[in-house]
Amino acid sequence: MTILNGKEIAAEVLAECREKVEALQAGGITPGLAVVIVGDDPASHVYVNSKVRTCSELGIRSRKIELSAEATQEQVLQVVRDLNADESVHGILVQSPPPPQINESEIIDLIDPGKDVDGFHPINVGKLVVGDESGFVPCTPQGCVRILQSSGIETTGARAVVIGRSLLVGKPLASLLMNKGFNATVTVAHSRTRDLAAVCREADILIAAIGQPEFVTADFVREGAVVIDVGVNRVEDAGRKRGYRLVGDVAYEEVAARCSAITPVPGGVGQMTIAMLMSNTVKAAELRGS
């Protein structure tokens, strides 16, 4: 059984980004990422700070724009308009989730699709579906397929089952895997799927993006399958100083005993998401070429 090491693969992606940033800088272009955060959700601030820190390690110029928890929709829209017009900014992301008064989809629709490095704008969603590689693919699904590629796992002809149909993970992942290039035969399962365990046992590659701690048990997994665990869930743990530990959507120990390869949590898919964001930002700068 192989443990698919997201940390190592993310380091590989970041090294590629660093080389590309140097090449861009040699041509007079410094890639720039603007991160907009509305409100004071502590987890969102941790994510944003880690994005900003990774930018600075790679030579990407980053800008953090903080708006108060009371910011209006119009204020956020105006920030996005200004960033769309700013030539030094190649990538824009608005950290999710915003406070309840903010209509997130209206904000995403306003982002210039050429700067939409989260890949959520309908134009980029459409490009992914038609297989147009000039678009931006959401970072977490892109991280999942990069783990498969870097680990030499054959997707062509493989049966892939994705549990979860969110716009953030499940749907874009299913599109990626079925596109030419990956050529998998894809099934998307969700909360209304009948006999989910039997559907999952069909999979050569099983991907869980559910948000339920340790939901996928050994009886969901065919002997020798590859298992990618996207889930990040907090469960109480009095034995830990912080009072909780992180677990995935997969019951790791029992599934690891059945499968041929698995991503751990933490140390698997989670490591890849920021790396793919950096990769999308570099791509945005390369595509614009100024």
Instruction: By CB under 6 A, name the binding residues for ligand NAP.
Output: 140, 163-166, 168-170, 190-192, 196, 209-212, 230-233, 249, 269-270, 273
Q: Is 118 a catalytic residue?
A: yes
In the complex, the smallest distance separating the C-beta of residue 268 from ligand NAP, rounded to whole angstroms, is 8
Q: Is 95 a catalytic residue?
A: yes
In the complex, the smallest distance separating the C-beta of residue 195 from ligand NAP, rounded to whole angstroms, is 11
Give 112 or 229: the residue with its C-beta nearer to ligand NAP. 229
**Across the strands, what pairs with 94?**
36
The active-site residue, picked from 95, 116, 142, 283, is: 95
Give 221 or 269: the residue with its C-beta nearer to ligand NAP. 269
User: From CA 139, how far away is CA 143, in angstroms rounded?
Assistant: 6
User: From CA 187, how far away is CA 203, in angstroms rounded?
Assistant: 9
Give 261 or 277: the residue with its C-beta nearer to ligand NAP. 277
Structure tokens at 241: 């100083």
**CA distances from residue 236 to 43, 198, 232 in whole angstroms, order as listed:** 17, 30, 13
Q: For residue 159, how many other CB atoms are within 10 A of its CB?
A: 15
In the complex, the smallest distance separating the C-beta of residue 164 from ligand NAP, rounded to whole angstroms, is 4
Half-sphere exposure of 212 (CA within 13 A, CB side): 9
User: From CA 229, how far away is CA 84, in angstroms rounded?
Assistant: 35
What single-letter amino acid sits at 137?
Answer: V
In the complex, the smallest distance separating the C-beta of residue 81 from ligand NAP, rounded to whole angstroms, is 27
Q: For residue 87, how many other CB atoms are within 10 A of its CB?
A: 8
The active-site residue, picked from 112, 116, 118, 249, is: 118
In the complex, the smallest distance separating the C-beta of residue 269 from ligand NAP, rounded to whole angstroms, is 4
Give 31 or 264: the residue with its C-beta nearer to ligand NAP. 264
The active-site residue, picked from 51, 127, 171, 283, is: 51
Give 47 or 77: the residue with its C-beta nearer to ligand NAP. 47
Structure tokens at 230: 């996207």
Q: For residue 46, how many other CB atoms are within 10 A of its CB?
A: 10
**Across the strands, what pairs with 64?**
35
Q: Is 51 a catalytic residue?
A: yes
In the complex, the smallest distance separating the C-beta of residue 265 from ligand NAP, rounded to whole angstroms, is 8
185-189 β-sheet, strand order: 2-3, 261-262, 226-229, 205-208, 159-163, 185-189
32-38 β-sheet, strand order: 61-67, 32-38, 91-94
Catalytic residues: 51, 95, 118
